[in-house]
Amino acid sequence: MMPSHRQNWFEGWRLFAVLTLVLVALSAGVAGMRGFEVDGVRMVIRFTARTSLLFFCLAFSAAALAKLWPNAWTRWQRRNRRYLGVTFAASHGIHAAAIACFALMDPVGYAAATNAASYIFGGIGYAFIIAMAATSFDRTAAAIGPRAFRILHLTGGYYLLFQFTVSFGKRIPDMPPYAMFLIPLLAVFALRMIAMTSARTPRTVRAS
């Protein structure tokens, strides 16, 4: 008998549950390494910024990769892009919880690490994440309709791509290795552009 995708721990909502549990456990472990003090909380903020980058890139590149290189992995990625996207939202939920702990535990350090721009741009980012996660269920997606869904998820996706680029990019002058975080972001953007172009100019097959 063929195994059903729904019974598989690496597919669908089960995949989301497994990944989220792993993220929560790892975040607790990271904070615990510094005795759950403010340093540990700041490490969780940085850790979840990076796990969010991973799941965001997996979700936002899925359709383009499956189109350009259809194979078992890219088909899995495209089939599960919704769950990878919601895992990104969960990862950013932990980012938000750690930010709140940072603000409570060390208000002075928190004020020094943030500014009006982080609230405005970060706030818009969270508004998109919440709206995108809320419309990632069959019922809510159907309620807003395919056109609104597409506009929301496309605009939100590109906004978040921009936000990641700025958040990692602004740290490059102080920490040059941060440039490596821009590589997956640029790759996702390039893949999407290439996939879009290849849709407009489909290869013609000659009969001769």
Among 5, 75, 79, 114, interactor with ligand HEM by CB under 6 A: 114
Determine, following the binding rule CB under 6 A, whether residue 160 of this chain makes contact with ligand HEM.
Answer: yes
Helix (H, G, I), strand (E, B) or coil at 52: helix
Determine, following the binding rule CB under 6 A, whether residue 118 of this chain makes contact with ligand HEM.
Answer: yes
Determine, following the binding rule CB under 6 A, whether residue 165 of this chain makes contact with ligand HEM.
Answer: no
Neighbours of 145 (CB within 10 A): 10
Least distance (Å) from ligand HEM to the CB of residue 166? Answer: 9
Query: Quick one: which H or E segment has residue 18?
Result: helix 12-33
Neighbours of 132 (CB within 10 A): 22
Least distance (Å) from ligand HEM to the CB of residue 70? Answer: 29
Q: Where are the beta strands (DSSP E) in 96-164?
A: none
Cβ-contact 52, 180 below 8 angstroms:
no
CA distance 208 to 82: 42
* Nearer Cβ to ligand HEM (99/133): 99
* Nearer Cβ to ligand HEM (126/158): 126
Cβ-contact 135, 141 below 8 angstroms:
yes
Interface stretch with ligand HEM, choices 10-18, 113-121, 148-156, 187-195 (CB under 6 A): 113-121
Residues near ligand HEM (CB under 6 A) are: 42, 45-46, 49-50, 95, 99, 113-114, 118-119, 122-123, 125-126, 160, 163-164, 167-168, 171
